[in-house]
């Protein structure tokens, strides 16, 4: 909603991990496995993008959200560690970091997240086909 590196208009986005009231209410009423699925059900619209992140690729709450999102017509992306786990088969696009070291996988996920933000600002918001001038060329 803010920005990454460039001043631009705000984009609708939400992290499903940050509202502790929703997380605890859903976990108490439905179970921790549904904390992301219920939010996708309430907020997701066809064409939206859901990015699921799990080092193992097998987190039940992330897998459930990806499965529902796909069924609802959202574009799904899985970011995982080596092998992709169950998430790789549940997502339209999968990025599996070639490591079993949790810290290295998570560090790579942070870098990839920054690259996504840069790509969005350069291509989607500026209407470019290729991110010329990007440090990720």
> What pLDDT, in 10s, does the model give residues 58-85?
999 999 999 999 999 999 999 999 999 9
pLDDT of residue 135 exceeding 60: no
Domain boundaries, the chain: 20-100
* Sheet containing 75-80: order of strands: 49-53, 75-80, 93-96
Which superfamily does 20-100 belong to?
Answer: Glucose-6-phosphate isomerase like protein; domain 1 (3.40.50.10490)
pLDDT grade for 45, boundaries at 50, 70 and 90:
very high
Residue 72 has φ and ψ, to the nearest 5°, of -85, -5
Residue 84 and residue 53 in contact, taking contact as beta carbons nearer than 8 Å: no
Predicted structure pTM score: 0.86
Pick left, alpha or beta for residue 84 (phi over 0 → left; psi -120 to 50 → alpha; otherwise beta).
left
Cβ atoms within 10 A of the Cβ of 50, count? 24
| Helix, strand, coil in percent for the chain, rounding step 5 | 45, 10, 45
In this prediction, residue 66 carries a pLDDT of 98
In this prediction, residue 134 carries a pLDDT of 44
In this prediction, residue 132 carries a pLDDT of 47
In whole angstroms, what is the distance from residue 123 CA to residue 131 CA? 6
């Amino acid at each position: 909603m803010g920005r990454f590196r460039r001043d631009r208009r705000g984009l609708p986005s939400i992290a499903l991990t940050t509202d502790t009231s929703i997380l605890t209410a859903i976990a108490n009423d439905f179970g921790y496995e549904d904390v992301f699925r219920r939010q996708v059900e309430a907020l997701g619209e066809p064409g939206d993008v859901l990015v699921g992140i799990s080092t193992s690729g097998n987190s039940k709450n992330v897998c459930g959200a990806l499965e529902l999102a796909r069924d609802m017509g959202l574009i799904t992306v899985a970011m995982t560690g080596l092998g992709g786990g169950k998430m790789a088969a549940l997502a339209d696009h999968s990025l599996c970091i070639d490591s079993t070291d949790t810290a290295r996988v998570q560090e790579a996920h942070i870098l990839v997240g920054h690259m996504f933000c840069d790509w969005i600002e350069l291509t989607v918001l500026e209407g470019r086909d290729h991110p010329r001038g990007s440090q990720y060329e």
